[in-house]
Amino acid sequence: MNATNSQHIVEQTAAHVKQKLTGEGTGHDWWHIQRVRQMAIRIAKQENADPFRVELAALLHDIADWKFHGGDETAGPREARVWLEKIGVEKAVIDHVCEIIHDLSFKGAGVKTRMRTKEGMVVQDADRLDALGAIGIARAFAYGGHKGQEIYNPDILPTLHKSFEEYKNANGTTINHFHEKLLLLKNLMNTATARALAEERHAYMEAFLARFMREWGGKT
């Protein structure tokens, strides 16, 4: 596939995803996709990954997130495949992109989600970086509000979920989500590029949580 055709496919896909996810209010909107896309392109250059497959997977990674489809982790790959077949993408690329989408999500502290390919590692890292730092904090509370979660309840302790089913069915607090997922992501990055970027964002979240607990206790 030549560069012109690849660019046309990417542009079509971006327009399709933007139309579908603009205005989404849980932190999984078009702007999340765009941030992940740009970060994935950046990491791909550093890690020598295939830019076309990386960009397509980044654009489509939340096209039908299991969190909004009754826990069905096949919904995203299925919808991505329908779209990519419709616009004439070759089967090998479709299979690879759909594999990345299927394997991308965090599925619980006790569940390994190692990506098979460098492109998968890059997109997973880009998505996880968007769950860290100031934007990660904002997204956590947007999603928690959508789920009707309490911000914090000291009587509800964090749980390190041992299975995907346990993780899917959990309904704790947003502050617990930091301990159950977000603070774990720094050490789960696949690439050296992402590991370096994650350090500062992780430290920012730790500082936020320390400040939150001081204010909760009336100490500042």
Q: How confident is the model at residue 113 (pLDDT cuts 50, 70, 90)?
A: confident
In this prediction, residue 141 carries a pLDDT of 97
CB-side neighbour CA atoms (13 Å) of 218: 0
So what's the pLDDT on residue 114? Answer: 80
State yes or no: pLDDT of 177 exceeds 80: yes
Count Cβ atoms within 10 A of the Cβ of residue 30 and give its class: 0-12 exposed, 13-18 middle, 19 or more buried: middle
Tokens standing for residue 131: 């769950």
pLDDT value at residue 1 = 62
Q: What's the DSSP call for residue 71?
A: T
Give the pLDDT of residue 3: 62
Confidence bin at 69 (pLDDT 50/70/90): low
Over residues 64-75, the mean pLDDT reads 76
CATH class of 3-216: mainly alpha
Arithmetic mean of pLDDT over the chain: 92
Q: Is the pLDDT of residue 106 over 90?
A: no
Q: What mean pLDDT comes out for the span 74-79?
A: 91
Q: What is the mean pLDDT of residues 81-110?
A: 93
pLDDT of res. 170 = 76
Whether pLDDT at 173 is above 90: yes
HEC-encoded secondary structure of 79-142: HHHHHHHHCCCCHHHHHHHHHHHHHCCCCCCCCCCCCCCHHHHHHHHHHHHCCCHHHHHHHHHH
pLDDT, tens only, 9-41: 999 999 999 999 999 988 999 999 999 999 999
**pLDDT at 215 > cutoff 90:** yes
State yes or no: pLDDT of 5 exceeds 70: yes
pLDDT on residue 180: 94
pLDDT for residue 2 is more than 70: no
Is it the case that residue 164 has pLDDT exceeding 80? no
pTM, rounded to two decimals: 0.93
Query: SS3 of 59, please?
Result: helix
Residue with the bigger pLDDT between 199 and 66: it is 199
Q: Give dist(CA 122, CA 29) in Å, integer.
A: 20
- pLDDT value, residue 105: 87
Separation between Cα atoms, residue 20 and residue 76, nearest integer Å? 13
Residue that is written with structure tokens 């997130």 in the block: 65
Single-letter residue type at 61: H
Domain boundaries, the chain: 3-216
CA atoms within 13 A on the CB side of 99: 16
Classified as helix, coil or strand, 69 is: coil
